[in-house]
A and B are shown apart, each in its own frame.
Chain A
């Protein structure tokens, strides 16, 4: 059992455990972080010369981004399935689903790496245009979020997860629930990034 109070049990004043309240406050700050950049995108788009964003936007690879969207959506469902498996006390299924989530996350990064390097090979950099500047900023920040999430997922997939499960299955389920909330948020950001950057 965790020695930190209100990790599993609910606080009487908020009706929530601190882990869930904490991650939602963090997600709120993340909404504002990405919100500032989305706002910058709108500002830059309307301030750009006619057709400039269309021209540079057409250089992006839509099939690859669609594939990545499907990959992140799949990772979101496998993430929640790993949590549901833990709640049903099925540790092996939990490991399998969490492993699939990690694979999808890694797959996303590989596709993004191919996309970025292909741009660099064609002499396209963040400094090439306003569109490319905001494209690399938004997607780069998103990639950093995927990387951070993957580190946490790998940590819980490692033997640490098994030890925590043996000590208290509910504690691991709580950790996975909170990690899952963050991971779904990263998926949510991509759901908006994909049409705005690649399709408009």
Chain B
């Protein structure tokens, strides 16, 4: 039992370093949330507002994925699973656009 609950000083320092990063990411996410709300009051077209909102959400999402979900240090196998999922996701997102172009001149 004793060796299971032991932790080296180096490990402890390393985790504490990570904890500081988590706090910084937390602060960044809070600030970006308020920026998201502030940007929504700008007088811009829907397309501009859409890309602004998605861009800020993507930055926030990248912070969560990269630091909280440790994707920046993750193994290749997981990166490839996510890359293939992202390709399939983008196909899903572009399907409605194909329909739009086919039927109207919305874009």
A interface with B by C-beta (< 8 Å):
14-16, 20-21, 24-25, 28, 31-32, 35-36, 38-40, 42-43, 46, 62, 66, 69-70, 73-74, 76-77, 79-81, 84, 87-89, 166, 168-170, 180-181, 184-185, 187-188, 191-192, 194-196, 199-200
Contacts and interface: CB of A to CB of B under 8 A. Distances in A.
A42 B54 CA distance: 13
13 contacts: A16-B77, A25-B81, A35-B88, A35-B89, A43-B96, A69-B33, A70-B30, A73-B33, A166-B1, A188-B64, A192-B61, A195-B57, A199-B49
Interface of B: 1, 4-7, 11-12, 15-16, 18-19, 22-23, 25-26, 29-30, 33, 36-37, 40, 46, 49-50, 53-54, 56-57, 60-61, 64-65, 68-69, 75-78, 81-82, 84-86, 88-89, 92-93, 95-97, 99-100, 106
Nearest to A36: B92
Contacts of A191: 57, 60-61, 64
Contacts of A79: 68
Given A31-B85, A73-B33, A84 B92 contact: no
B78 A20 contact: yes
B22 A88 contact: no
B36 A32 contact: no
Contacts of A32: 85, 88-89, 92
Contact of A46 (B37, B53, B100): B100
Contact of A88 (B15, B37, B46, B89): B15
Contacts of A80: 22, 68
Nearest to B34: A66
A170 B1 CA distance: 11
B47 to A, nearest CB: 10
B26 A88 contact: no
Nearest to A91: B5
Contacts of B49: 199-200
Nearest to A37: B92
A73 B26 contact: yes
A81 B81 contact: no
A76 B68 contact: yes
Given A24-B82, A169-B5, A200-B53, A70 B33 contact: yes
